[in-house]
Amino acid sequence: MKRVPIIAGNWKMNKTLDKAVEFVNVIKDQLPSPDQCRVMIAAQPLFLADMIRAAANSPLQIFAENCYYHDFGAFTGEVSPLSLADMGVDGTILGHSERRKIFHESDELINKKVLAALRNNLSPLLCCDETMGRKVAGNEVHWVVSRILTDLRDVPREDLSKITIAYEPSWAIGSGQSADPVQAEEGCYLIRQTIADMYDDEAAQQMSVLYGGSVNAENASKLMASEDIDGCLIGGNSLKPETFMQLVNS
């Protein structure tokens, strides 16, 4: 089963509007075709409309970093998935480790957000860390990524093609210490097994699974050579256009 490689940047709470638009203008004509490699950038909501305009007619996909699970209402300070979709945003990161740790987001909340994103035709880029669990199914015991079981609850099988999952061990994020290819492959393999467990083997083979955590131009191609790693989710090294393009080209 051939899955298209993905390089995704997560800018977190960095950049200013002019730098965000300048970045898009610099890279947009250098990108591979989307059947060779899908390239996406997630940025603060304030930048998204201008980034979408700058990226028009290019294969660059523009993502949000988070959204809420209601479309409208009295939720001061939250970002509506409907508004993101209406603006032309392609998708949104959900369940990033920083949202889970700093903002105490639970798997139950993230599950509501995944369903809301799908309802609004936004592609969820669902992040999960190294939390593994045992699951007993019939007489068999499986090792699964326990967060995924809750995060994807009630997601219909036909919506799985819109979802990408990123395995980001919390200790590897921003530490300069990437998981080695064997550890990263193990995490991504377990995510794929979890999808097979929840749905079926075909769904698992179709799912794009990324690795994230201290990815750089040196380690990216080694990580992506592993069977179950379809791409990388990159924080710090996605901020400069030259470094980001090195990652895309690697």
Q: Which of residues 168-187 bind ligand 13P (CB under 6 A)?
A: 168, 173-174
Contacts of 87 (CB under 8 A, 6+ apart): 48, 49, 52
Stretch that binds ligand 13P, among 48-56, 76-84, 167-175, 217-225 (CB under 6 A): 167-175
User: Does residue 215 bind ligand 13P (CB under 6 A)?
Assistant: yes
Nearest-angstrom CA–CA distance, 65 and 105: 14
Nearest-angstrom CA–CA distance, 66 and 57: 25
User: Does residue 220 bind ligand 13P (CB under 6 A)?
Assistant: no
Please, which residues bridge with residue 164 across strands? 125, 208
Indicate if 70 belongs to the active site. no
Tokens of 112: 């509501």
Indicate if 65 belongs to the active site. no
Q: Give min distance, CB of 42 to ligand 13P, in A.
A: 8
User: Does residue 65 bind ligand 13P (CB under 6 A)?
Assistant: no
Active-site residue, selected from the candidate residues 65, 98, 168, 185:
168
Nearest-angstrom CA–CA distance, 134 and 118: 28
Give 168 or 228: the residue with its C-beta nearer to ligand 13P.
168
Nearest Cα residue to 207 out of 191, 224, 227, 223: 191
User: Does residue 92 bind ligand 13P (CB under 6 A)?
Assistant: no
User: Does residue 223 bind ligand 13P (CB under 6 A)?
Assistant: no
User: Does residue 126 bind ligand 13P (CB under 6 A)?
Assistant: no
Nearest-angstrom CA–CA distance, 150 and 131: 12
Q: What SS3 class is residue 139?
A: coil
What residues make contact with ligand 13P under the rule CB under 6 A? 10, 96, 168, 173-174, 212-215, 233-237
Q: Which residues are catalytic?
A: 96, 168
